[in-house]
Chains A and B, each alone.
Chain A
Amino acid sequence: MEQRELQILWVAVVAYVLSGVVAIFGVVLKKSPHRFVLGTLVLGTALLSVSLGLRWERLGHGPFITMFEVLASNVWSFGLIFALAYWRYPPIRGTAAVVMPIIFVMLGWMTLSSTHEGHFPQTFRTPWLYIHVGLSKVFLGTVLVAVGMAGIILLRRAGIGLSRFEKLPADERLDDLAYRFMALGIIFQTLMLISGAIWAQDAWGRYWAWDPLETWSFITWIMLAFALHWRLTMKSSPAVGSWMILGVFVFAFLTFFGVPFISESPHKGAV
Chain B
Amino acid sequence: MSTEREAPLAAGELAAENPPPKSRLLALLASLRLTLFSLLLLLAAVVYIYDHEGEADATLPLVLPLSLLSLNLLAAVLSNRTFRRQLPLLVFHLALLAIIVLVALGRLTYLRATTEVVTGGEHQSLERVEAGPWHSGARDALHFESLGFRIQYKPGLQRDATVNQVRWRDEAGIPRTAEIGDQVPLVIRGYRFYTSSNKGFAALFRWEPQQGEVQLGSVNFPGYPGNKDDQSTTWRLGTEEVRVRLNIPEQLIDPAAASGFRLPDRHDVSVEFPWRVATLKPGESVLTPAGRLVYVGLTTWMGYNVFYDWTMPWLLAACALAVLALAWHFWRKFALKPWQAA
Residues B39 and A225 in contact, CB atoms below 8 Å apart: yes
User: What does the 1/0 interface line of B302-342 toward A look like (CB < 8 Å)?
Assistant: 00011101001001100110110011001000100001101
Q: Which of A123, A206, A219 makes the CB contact (< 8 A) with B46?
A: A219
- Assuming the contacts A219-B47, A226-B36, asked whether A203 and B326 have C-beta atoms less than 8 A apart, the reply is no
A239 to B342, CA, bound (A): 17
Assuming the contacts A232-B2, A232-B32, asked whether A222 and B183 have C-beta atoms less than 8 A apart, the reply is no
Interface status of A194 (Cβ within 8 A of chain B): yes
Cβ-defined contact, A226 with B39, below 8 A: yes
On chain A, the residues within 8 Å of B182 by CB distance are 122-123, 203, 271
- When each residue 110-126 of chain B gets 1 if its CB lies under 8 Å from chain A and 0 otherwise, what string results? 00100000000000000
Residue B131, interface by CB 8 Å: no
Q: Tell me, rounded to whole Å, the shortest Cβ–Cβ distance linking B101 to chain A.
A: 16
Q: Quick check: is A215 within 8 A (CB to CB) of the other chain? A: yes
Of A13-21, A34-42, A68-76, A184-192, which binds chain B?
Answer: A184-192
* Contact of B312 with A119 in the complex, beta carbons under 8 Å: no
Interface: B40 (CB within 8 A): yes
Task: Confirm or deny: A155 has a beta carbon within 8 angstroms of a beta carbon on chain B.
Answer: no
Contacts of A176 in B (CB 8 A): 342
Q: Which residues of A contact B184 (CB under 8 A)?
A: 202
B29 CB to nearest chain A CB (Å): 15
Contact yes or no, B46 A201, CB < 8 A: no
Establish whether residues B162 and A177, one from each chain, have CB atoms under 8 Å apart when the complex forms: no
Taking a contact as CB atoms under 8 Å apart, the answer to whether A210 and B50 are in contact is: yes
From known contacts A229-B32, A271-B197, infer whether A215 and B192 are also in contact, taking CB-CB under 8 Å.
no
Question: What is the CA–CA distance of A88 and B342 in the complex, to the nearest angstrom?
Answer: 13
Q: Output the least CB separation between A201 and chain B (Å).
A: 7
Q: Is A226 in contact with B53, judged by CB distance below 8 angstroms?
A: no
CA–CA, A219 and B47, complex, Å: 8
Quick one: given A183-B330, A194-B319, are A226 and B43 in contact (CB under 8 Å)? yes
A residues near B159, Cβ cutoff 8 Å: 122, 271
Is there contact, CB below 8 Å, between B50 and A232? no
Per-residue interface assignment for chain B, residues 25 to 56, with 1 indicating a CB less than 8 Å from any chain A CB and 0 otherwise: 00000001101100110110011011001000
Interface readout for B144-167 with A: 1 if CB under 8 Å, 0 if not?
000000000010101111100000
A204 surroundings in chain B (CB, below 8 A):
305
In the complex, A233 has a CB within 8 A of chain B:
yes
Q: Are B53 and A210 in contact (CB under 8 A)?
A: yes
Q: Is the CB of A122 within 8 A of B160?
A: yes
B161 and A122 contact, CB distance less than 8 A: yes
**With an 8 A cutoff between CB atoms, is A212 at the interface?**
yes
Q: Whole-angstrom distance from the CB of A113 to the nearest CB of chain B?
A: 21
Kindly state whether residue A58 has any CB partner on chain B within 8 Å.
no
Contacts A218-B46, A222-B46 given: A180-B197 contact, CB under 8 Å?
no
CB distance from A80 to the nearest CB of B (A): 18
Enumerate chain B residues within 8 angstroms of A191, measured Cβ to Cβ. 323
Q: B4: nearest residue on chain A (CB-CB)?
A: A232
B253 within 8 A of A: no
Bound-state Cα–Cα, A205 to B182, Å? 8
Which of A177, A194, A230, A233 is B323 in contact with, Cβ under 8 Å? A194
Contacts of A197 in B (CB 8 A): 319
The CA-CA distance from A222 to B62 in the complex, in Å, is 13
B202 within 8 A of A: no
Q: Give chain B interface residues in 151-206, CB to chain A under 8 Å.
A: 154, 156, 158-162, 182-185, 192, 194, 196-197
In the bound complex, residues from chain A placing their C-beta under 8 Å from that of B49 are: 210, 215
Interface string of A195-224 (1 = CB under 8 A from B): 001100111111100101001101100110
A126 at the interface (CB under 8 A from B): yes
Given that A89-B340, A215-B46 are contacting pairs, would A187 and B327 also be in contact in the complex, using a CB cutoff of 8 Å? yes
Q: Complex formed: what's the CA distance from A230 to B3 in Å?
A: 12
B332 to chain A, nearest CB (A): 12
Across the interface, do A187 and B4 meet the contact criterion of CB distance under 8 Å?
no
Give the residues in chain B near A91, CB-CB below 8 Å: 340
Could you mark each residue 168-179 of chain A with 1 if its beta carbon is under 8 Å from any beta carbon of chain B, else 0? Answer: 000001001100
Contact of B326 among A190, A210, A218 (CB under 8 A): A190
Q: Any chain B CB within 8 A of the CB of A228?
A: yes
Residues of B within 8 A of A222 (CB): 39, 42-43, 46
In the complex, the answer to whether B197 meets A229 with C-beta atoms within 8 Å is no
A119 and B161 in contact, given A205-B192, A228-B2, A229-B2 (Cβ under 8 angstroms): no
Q: How close is B93's CB to chain A, nearest CB, in angstroms?
A: 12
Does B32 lie within 8 Å of A202, measured CB to CB? no
Q: Once the chains bind, are A233 and B330 in contact (CB under 8 Å)? A: no
Q: List residues of chain A with CB within 8 A of the CB of B330.
A: 180, 183-184, 187
Q: Are A229 and B1 in contact (CB under 8 A)?
A: yes
Task: List the B residue with the shortest CB-CB distance to A201.
Answer: B312
22 A-B pairs whose Cβ atoms sit less than 8 Å apart in the complex: A121-B158, A122-B161, A126-B183, A180-B334, A183-B334, A187-B327, A190-B322, A190-B323, A190-B326, A194-B316, A194-B320, A201-B307, A202-B184, A202-B185, A206-B307, A210-B50, A222-B46, A229-B32, A229-B35, A232-B2, A233-B36, A271-B159
Write the residues of chain B forming the contact surface with A, with a CB cutoff of 8 angstroms: 1-4, 32-33, 35-36, 39-40, 42-43, 46-47, 49-50, 53, 58, 112, 154, 156, 158-162, 182-185, 192, 194, 196-197, 305-307, 309, 312, 315-316, 319-320, 322-323, 326-327, 330, 334, 339-340, 342
